Amino acid sequence: MTFRPDAPPPGCPAHQAPPTAPPPQAPPATYTPLYGPDFAADPHAVYQRLRQHGPAAPVELAPRVRAVLVTDYRAALEVLRSPGRFVKDARHWRALADGRVEADNPVVPMMAYRPNCLFSDGDHHRRYRQAVDDSLARIDPNALRGYVERSADSLIDRFTALGEADLLGSYAKTLPLLVFQQLFGCPPELGDRLVEGFSGIFDGVEAERADALITSSLLELIALKRRQPGADVISWLMAHPARLSDEEMLHQLVVLIGAGTEPQQNLIANALRLLLSDDRFAGDLAGGSLPVDDALDEVLWLDPPMANYAVHYPLADDTLGDVPLRAGEPVVVSFAAANTDPALRTGQPAGSRAGNRAHLAWSAGPHHCPAKDPARLIAAAAVERLLDRLPDLELAVPADRLVWRPGPFHRALTALPVRFPPLPVPVPAPPPVHPGMAPRHPGMSPQHPGMSPHPQPSAPTPAETPGDRRWTAPHAPSPSIPPAVTSTARPPASAPSGKRSAWSSLGAWWRGQ
């Protein structure tokens, strides 16, 4: 190296450049909690604050579980439709892999990897998804609607004479269980355990125990359907050319049953709340028109049953707008926030969502909900039947006093109390009288022929429901799928022990107990 004679000697302290100031450090991120009663009471106010961060913002799904929540509609579509950048396989979740998030954290069962169509990518996802799509496509929508209406009638009959009811516990929560039992050929005693398990998962209560209960119950159900296949979704999945193993069957059912119970009940209850509290719909109801489709669309835009979900993981450090994303950091799509993105309302008049189904409540991209059509049909039929039977329904408390269940993922009420003019309980038609048999009043106990108890509301028996033998559509969606078995074995009666759940009680009606 050559030095100029007039240059200072190397390393001379008198001629060193002044030290440069360190670059300013960004303040530590503040993680907004998405759990607890404050968020549940007014999530849209929280979304509005989070939008100040840009299209995504740092949040905490549960204690020590940090994520980025996408609140922008276009950014949400970018995540959902970019499987090359964002993957669903939760084995990429670094905080869980390195122990910063404990395995028993209450949100882990809703986020951890399972070999199913929700948490897989690429060829594995295509294989699982084809089996699920083909099996769901075999459901006859006319049979499904008929079964929903019959089941709805059986539930309404139980409280129509009371003049009041909790439509969540007595109707919206129970109706999907009846439909689930029919679609999956599930005995009531197994259904009790599955509902308990899934409720624990969604609420984050004893999540490890709930997950174990789901696993053991589903393995028992799968073994039953291997021995006794029927005209049901589980049997169709088993018969699919994808040749799913028992473990793969278990994890597909976790997705299907989880989506068919908790979110379904929330869609029904949230639609009823809207119809009974919003003047736009109440006016139409008083005029004899039931705008159920419009109410469902409004709920799916504003209060979708799964408000925040679709967890993805960046494969590499990335950005969303100007928001940095770290590889392996959970990116959660807020369907509710994206649907209410102010940019979507620019130039549109208020209340113009009627008939607009561009919302993200069913997600988008390769992992969009495979059961959105049956789910919407069930919700619409349930709401229409209730309002047809009880047209004078009204909320028993002001709408702003209804309480929402805490949780980062769902949008769910704790109760939906209503009142209405009491109506007499419909008396079921007497059974046919066979020669040599004396007629008996409906509801009269054969052990006490002189007694006249109150007639009990009838519930649909498996033999009466149109779904039993006609779930299969006239043409199977894939010629490679073998024909479905045309009958489903009725589960054997079992004596209940201890306190009955709603499902056990309904099963008891079916068995005549």
Q: Is 315 left (phi over 0), alpha (psi -120 to 50) or beta?
A: alpha
Residue position matching structure tokens 């040599």 = 436
pLDDT at position 492 is: 33
> Between 110 and 475, whose confidence is greater?
110
The string of pLDDT tens digits covering residues 115-156 is 999 999 999 999 999 999 999 999 999 999 999 999 999 999
pLDDT at position 455 is: 33
| Distance between CA atoms of residues 162 and 347, nearest Å | 48
| Distance between CA atoms of residues 239 and 483, nearest Å | 9
Residue position matching structure tokens 């949008």 = 411
Contact yes or no for 471/168 (Cβ under 8 A): no
Overall CATH class of domain 32-426: mainly alpha
Cα distance from N-terminal residue to C-terminal residue, the chain: 101
| Distance between CA atoms of residues 91 and 112, nearest Å | 8
* The token pair that represents 465 in the structure block: 């429901």
The string of pLDDT tens digits covering residues 211-252 is 888 889 999 999 999 999 999 999 999 999 999 999 999 999
Provide the 8-state DSSP code for 54: -
- What b-and-e string marks burial along 236-246, b requiring 16 or more CB atoms within 10 Å of the CB? bbbbbebebee
Q: Please, which pLDDT band fits residue 259 given cuts at 50, 70 and 90?
A: confident
| Distance between CA atoms of residues 217 and 186, nearest Å | 10
Provide the 8-state DSSP code for 395: E
**Percentage of the chain modeled with pLDDT above 90:** 58
- What b-and-e string marks burial along 142-161, b requiring 16 or more CB atoms within 10 Å of the CB? ebbbbbbbbbbbbbbbbbbe
> 68 exposed, middle or buried (CB, 10 Å; 0-12, 13-18, 19+)?
buried
pLDDT at position 348 is: 53
pLDDT at position 13 is: 46
Give 162-218 as a DSSP string.
TSEEEHIIIIITTHHHHHHHHHHT--HHHHHHHHHHHHHHHHTSSHHHHHHHHHHHH
**Number of other residues whose CB lies within 10 A of the CB of residue 480:** 8
The string of pLDDT tens digits covering residues 423-462 is 987 766 555 544 443 333 333 333 333 333 333 333 344 3
Residue 282 φ/ψ, nearest 5 degrees: -60, -40
CA nearest to 368, candidates 133, 70, 109 = 133
Helix (H, G, I), strand (E, B) or coil at 62: strand
pLDDT exceeds 80 at position 83:
yes
Residue range 56-67: mean pLDDT, rounded: 96
| Distance between CA atoms of residues 421 and 391, nearest Å | 10
Residue 153 φ/ψ, nearest 5 degrees: -60, -40
